[in-house]
Amino acid sequence: MKTKSTGLFVVAILMLLTSNLYAQKFSASVDKTAIRQNERFQVYFEFADGDNNKLRNFRPPAFTGLRVLSGPNQSTNMQIINGKMNSSITYSFILAGTDVGNFTIGQASIMHGNAEYKTDPINIKIVKGTAQPQQGQSDDANISQEEIAENLFIVADVDNRSAYKGEQLTVTYKLYSRLEISSPQINKLPQYKGFWAEELDPIKNLNFQIEMYKGQRFRAAMLKKVALFPTKSGELSISPFELNIPVIIKRRRSGRDIFDDFFNDSFFGRRETVEFVARSNSIKVNIKELPVEGRPDSFNGAVGQFKFSTSLGQTEVKTNEPITLKVDISGTGNIKLLDVPELSLPPGFEQYDPKTSEKINRRGSVSGSKSAEYLIVPRIPGKKEIPAVEFSYFNPGTNKYVTETSPVYRINVLRGENLAQTTTSGFSKEDVRLLSEDIRFIKTSDFNWQKREDDQLVKSWFWISLIAPFIAFIGFLGVRKRQDKLSGNVQLLRYQKAEKNARARLKSAKKALDTRNISEFHSEVSNALIGYLEDKLHIQKSEFTQEKAISSLKQNGVSEELAADVKEILDKCEFVRFAPQMSSASESGELHERTVKVIVDLEGSILIRK
């Protein structure tokens, strides 16, 4: 008896678990239940937790007393939570009520496999209001631009509206929609004047999910996420992000014959596309200057949270044998603009330019590491000390400056084999000779006198050998003066190397194109053209904007057509980074050739000469 009851209990538990695992739900909802006369509203019929492939025969209610403006618009949502996949499909309608009173949205039905599901009725109330149909619209009227804007818009949001100079701000752009739309196209990218921008988690495809915004239900998708680092203080503005979005409107036939109900079915509904420009809101932020109080001398503008460390290759070395001192900085902040601390070496060391490398993570917030390897060559034997290296940064979380210091490195420099003959005076023994062997007496006899055959006392080669060193010295001074001018004038050096650097970047772009990496190809092309404009027009990286570059080109003699080509290439690269699947290899090859031609044309058009 006990065994039988236990078996029944297990069967009941299994049936309960099975019913919960495969429970489906078909529900109806509206975005508002009190609607003004002639005001648009939406109704949703959602089937959840089922296999969407088994769904068929969706039948909406009659919508008695209401006017259908659009629908059914269909959307699908899939989520994986704790390894379990949940899917749902939603049918939505845009309705309007022309008469005042209480109305009921009847039951909708759908088949899932062999089972039929129905929704519960919904009661709504139409009240008198000021909303009126647009002039010139029929009963199956177009949705006006204002009405589209209420149901399709972009929201720009920033996580911090008051920050320090150099502190990261994160701006997100989301698209909210209750309409059926086609592929959006970029109309105008936001401008970040006064910021250094790093794009976070590049969006390749729009992934819509159901969200509530201001008490209303929307399908929302992330468009863009950008980390901004302010480069100056004060009130700064972020311009809107604009998309050109095709909106698909479904219309019902207005015939009055007996076949109306048949042709008013959504399958026979007439579909039209309306172009709509969605524009995000602009953002204003207040940027504070970094505090002067407590600012250390070693501070070079680093803002964030960092770790600093150094390491020395070896502490005992022979003269003229190189050693490596490595400096590592890691943490959260603008890694790209970090300045690696400089070494201060005692006499007897020769230092070479450091080799730097960086790794940047652009997920959520900008973080990563930056390293520099200094090659040091000791020239004089003895016990030496490399002084401590300081790295300072401002932590916006604590509003304080932080200074980290490396240890003092003590090095024992042994005498190398090549200095075995060296004395403390700095002269080798080979340079010292006996005085008696160094002086020769004047010869006073046994001369072989010969008569000169010509009257020319000084040969021409003498004058050449006399003047040539002077000419060579003048030439050397000219070359040295030019090199000093270039090394002291960074802008002029960048100007002269602009085309060379751009061609090097375009070679990297060509390699990416050969490996079919379209996204990296367009990124390299964009970097090549932007880097060329920064170097040629003397624009700092942190101040570069497309508008500023185009304006500077026109001021320096570049034609409108060539400036338009530059803008078109930059827009194309930014668009393909946003949607790389929209570009083919052949189009990318044409873009590469076109960029090379544009840079060559710019080289001959820009009138700056310094």
* Mean pLDDT of all residues belonging to the chain: 77
190 and 80 in a common domain: no
Average pLDDT (126-144) is 54
- Within 8 A by CB and 6+ apart from 404, the residues are 306, 307, 308, 390, 391, 392
- Inter-CA distances, 207 with 137, 174, 213, 273, 275, Å: 34, 11, 17, 22, 21
Domain check: are 90 and 152 in the same one?
no
Instruction: Name which of 11-20, 28-37, 551-560 the model is least confident about.
Output: 11-20
pLDDT at 308 over 70: yes
DSSP 512-538: HHHTT-HHHHHHHHHHHHHHHHHHHHT
The closest alpha carbon to 45, from 103, 78, 88, belongs to 88
Range of weakest confidence among 140-154, 323-337, 369-383: 140-154
Instruction: Name the residue among 350, 360, 407, 358 with its Cα closest to residue 380.
Output: 350
In terms of phi and psi (left: phi > 0; alpha: psi -120 to 50; beta: otherwise), the region of 165 is: beta
Q: Determine the pLDDT at residue 426.
A: 37
Claim to verify: residue 126 and residue 156 sit in the same structural domain: no
- Nearest-angstrom CA–CA distance, 153 and 242: 10
Q: What is the pLDDT of residues 197-228, one digit of tens each?
A: 888 887 778 888 888 888 788 999 998 899 89
pLDDT at 90 over 70: yes
Task: Count CB-CB contacts under 10 A for residue 104.
Answer: 14
Q: What is the pTM of this model?
A: 0.48
Same domain, 207 and 321: no
Whether 254 and 318 map to the same domain: the answer is no
Domain range enclosing 180: 146-287
Q: What is the CATH number of the domain that holds 193?
A: 2.60.40
432 assigned to some structural domain? no
336 and 215 in a single domain? The answer is no
The verdict on 201 and 115 lying in the same domain is no
- 13 is a domain residue: no
In this prediction, residue 156 has a pLDDT band, given cuts at 50, 70 and 90, of: very high
Asked if residue 77 is part of any domain, the answer here is yes
* CA distances to 28, 38, 65, 267, 497 from 264, in Å: 22, 21, 16, 8, 68
Q: Is residue 111 part of a domain?
A: yes
pLDDT reported for residue 497: 66
Record the tokens describing residue 338, joined without a space: 């970090």
Instruction: Using the 3D structure, point to which of 69, 98, 132 is the last residue of a domain.
Output: 132
Q: Percentage of the chain surpassing pLDDT 70?
A: 76
191 in a domain, yes or no? yes
- Whether pLDDT at 173 is above 90: yes
Pick 181 or 582 by higher pLDDT.
181
Task: Give CA–CA dist 388/391, Å, rounded.
Answer: 10
- Please tell me whether residue 564 adopts helix, strand or coil conformation: helix
| Residue 18 within a domain | no
Residue of 241 and 9 predicted with greater confidence: 241
Give yes or no: residues 303 and 275 share one domain: no
Q: At 60, which CATH number?
A: 2.60.40.10
Question: Count H helices, E strands: the chain?
Answer: 11, 32
**Residue percentage of the chain with pLDDT more than 90:** 7
**Same domain membership, residue 77 and residue 167:** no
Among the three residues 108, 132, 156, which one is the final residue of a domain in this structure? 132
For residue 329, the domain's CATH number is 2.60.40.740
Q: What is the pLDDT of residue 82?
A: 54
Confidence (pLDDT) at 176: 93
Which pLDDT score, from 0 to 100, does residue 23 have?
64
Phi and psi (nearest 5°) for 4?
-65, -45
Which 3-state string (H, E, C) describes 343-367? Answer: CCCCCCEEECCCEEEEEEEEECEEE
Whether 5 maps to a domain, the answer reads no
Weakest-pLDDT range from 76-80, 346-350, 435-439, 557-561: 435-439
Number of domains in the chain: 4
pLDDT at 491 (0 to 100): 53
Coil, strand or helix at 184: coil
Domain containing residue 586: CATH number:
1.20.120
Are residues 530 and 507 located together in one domain of the fold? yes
> Is residue 58 pLDDT above 80, yes or no?
yes
The DSSP string of 315-341 is SEEETT--EEEEEEEEEEE-GGGPPPP
Mean pLDDT calculated for residue range 376-386:
88
Using omega within 30 degrees of 0 as the cis cutoff, is the peptide bond preceding 347 cis? Answer: no
Same domain, 349 and 398: yes
From CA 104, how far away is CA 293, in angstroms rounded?
A: 69
Beta bridge partners of 271: 250
Asked whether residue 493 carries a pLDDT value surpassing 60, the answer given is no
Domain-embedded: residue 570 = yes
**Same domain? 312 vs 396:** yes
101 vs 33, residue with greater confidence: 101
What average pLDDT does range 335-346 have in this prediction? 85
* Last-in-domain residue among 419, 437, 463: 419
Has residue 508 got a pLDDT over 50? yes
pLDDT tens for each residue of 562-584 = 888 888 888 877 777 666 555 66
